[in-house]
Structure 1
């Protein structure tokens, strides 16, 4: 079971990389930049670099440089909330819309591939189990 567990993660990551690579190539962006755009599009309640770093377990320097490049290309905007000039909130700008659309289509393609032949009930059970596994991993990391 252990071998299949590790193999399945490697295979799923490889397939995800494979479906995302054309999106990056089409728009001349890095995979990190695409991941940031999709994270913000798919998780509107999380809109800071710290949210991206914490939720996706990415390095601060990579997120920071990617956010800067996305801003320079006019794909991301920065705002401050009234009364808080410390926290920068990120927002998708209109220029990011076609990239996000194509990225989301690639994500749909990915999920349709990995869940081919599964019933809705089976997919829900898998999702619930992954939430539990991630919770266990998060707790173990915090205990260290």
Structure 2
């Protein structure tokens, strides 16, 4: 395998971000605010700032600043964990529902365009390959710590 995988990963993000522009403009969000809302909406069990930092690999300071902005805009709220008071969950407020709806529509359009020309079987295999590669990457990261 040559450098195509690295090239694809960089262009993949640029391609995805090009789909995000309209949602960000429509709802007066910056890319990272939209990414955080999308993350919380798409991963119900992972709804803390630490989860976002760990999974999305954003810096802690950027996540803190963006979460605060989303709270100020009335789109997110903090909720203390009932069992561990040190843990703060991020909850999507009803005001964010139209944004979440637009994000999900945009993500569906992105996925459809990304997979144009792939058969159903190829899409399934691609998903399996990506899952396996992610597993290898995560194992490699754990092994290097």
Identify whether the pair has TM-score above 0.5, normalized to the shorter chain.
yes
Gaps in structure 1 of 5+ consecutive residues:
none
* Residues 1-144 of structure 1 aligned to structure 2 (within 5 Å): 1-144=1-144
Q: Provide the secondary structure at the position in 2 that maps to 1:78.
A: strand
Q: Which moved more, 1:22-31 or 1:6-15?
A: 6-15
Count matched residues. 144
Report the Cα offset of residue 40 of structure 1: 0.8
State the structure with bigger RCO (CA 8 A, min sep 6), 1 or 2: 1
Structure 2 length as normaliser, TM-score?
0.93
Structure 1 length as normaliser, TM-score?
0.94
In 2, the alpha carbon distance for the partners of 1:120 and 1:80 equals 43
In 1, the alpha carbon distance for the partners of 2:22 and 2:47 equals 26
Gaps in structure 2 of 5+ consecutive residues:
none
What is the aligned-residue RMSD (CA, Å)? 1.2
